[in-house]
Amino acid sequence: MDTFIEIDDEMFSLLESYAGTETYDDRVVQLAGESMGSYDFTGLFYVEVPPLMEATLKSWDDVDAWLDELGGFLSEDILPENIPEDFDPYTESAIPPISIFGSLKSFKESALNKLGERLKQDKAGVACVEVRNNEQTLYLVYDDLDFWAFDFNDRVKVFRGDEFTEENGYYDL
């Protein structure tokens, strides 16, 4: 099975006008639906990561609120293995999260690793169809295949290929 489709100049120009964005254009959404048989997985997951600031790591309640927004889990789920078993982040005398994780980067990595474990069990990740016209290539991006499988999707992203970045929400978990 091919993991790409060839399209005419007119349709490619339309897709190109949406490159780097998400579109509700019925013609593009229809093409994405008709192209589902040609998709392949990128190995990435789409994650909407909430804003994370230094102040978050001053309080376990703030950490838990951020983790809940990220993926519905708690700080206890991402504590490092070297923490004593009797450590309870919810006591008044508990050391702050920054002391446990050391940095925002370390905390975020721990959280995303935990989220990745869950996502790999529940989802297949991001898929896309390579769309070609002559020597040009674009991608139709399926962030949530469940929406497409049940015909709930009314939009699709069109990428050139270099938009699969963490800044845009695409993570290799």
Residue 30 and residue 88 in one domain: no
Residue 77 and residue 101 in one domain: yes
Residue 103 and residue 68 in one domain: yes
Q: What is the pLDDT of residues 79-121, one digit of tens each?
A: 988 888 888 888 888 899 999 999 999 999 999 999 999 888 8
Over 50: is that where the pLDDT of 16 sits? yes
Q: How many CA atoms lie within 13 Å of 126's alpha carbon, on the beta-carbon side? A: 24
Residue 118 and residue 131 in one domain: no
Residue 108 and residue 145 in one domain: no
Give the mean model confidence (pLDDT) for residues 51-56. Answer: 95
Residue 74 and residue 114 in one domain: yes
Q: What is the pLDDT of residue 2?
A: 63
Contacts of 111 (CB under 8 A, 6+ apart): 66, 67, 70, 71, 78
- Asked if 140 and 128 touch (Cβ cutoff 8 Å), the reply is yes
Contacts of 51 (CB under 8 A, 6+ apart): none
How many whole angstroms separate alpha carbon 85 and alpha carbon 56? 24
Domain encompassing residue 10: 4-44+125-171
Considering only 43-52, 68-77, 82-91, 109-118, which range has the smallest mean pLDDT? 82-91
Tally of domains in the chain: 2
Q: What is the pLDDT of residue 7?
A: 94
Residue 114 and residue 134 in one domain: no
Last residue of a domain, one of 122, 141, 162: 122
Residue 112 and residue 155 in one domain: no
How many whole angstroms separate alpha carbon 35 and alpha carbon 94? 53
Question: How confident is the prediction for the chain on average, in pLDDT?
Answer: 90
Nearest Cα to Cα of residue 73 among 121, 114, 105, 117: 114
